[in-house]
Amino acid sequence: MVRFIIRMGAAALLAGLLALPGAAAALEVGEKAPDFNLPATTGGKISLSDYRGKQHVLVEFYINDFGPT
């Protein structure tokens, strides 16, 4: 029950953040994705611009890779 309440709270918080003006904007087909930096699993930072000019780049975001659910 506690997990359910925490998940619902997290979902409500995320929904609230996404509803803020300018917080998220969808891209149209053919538009370039904005550059961003994230921590790399090998240390340091990695950015989308590091892959500019490559034929295919897959960006996947996920959560709970090693989580209990």
Q: Where are the domains of the chain?
A: 2-51
Structure confidence at residue 16 (pLDDT) = 61
Hey, what amino acid is at 43? G
- Rounded to a whole number of angstroms, the CA Rg of the chain reads 16
- Inform me whether the pLDDT recorded for 5 exceeds 60: yes
Q: What is the Cβ-side half-sphere exposure of residue 10, based on CA atoms within 13 angstroms?
A: 7
Residue corresponding to tokens 């930096």: 37
What are the counts of helices (DSSP H) followed by strands (DSSP E) for the chain? Answer: 1, 2
- Inform me whether the pLDDT recorded for 15 exceeds 80: no
Judged by phi (left if over 0) then psi (alpha if -120 to 50, else beta), residue 49 lies in alpha
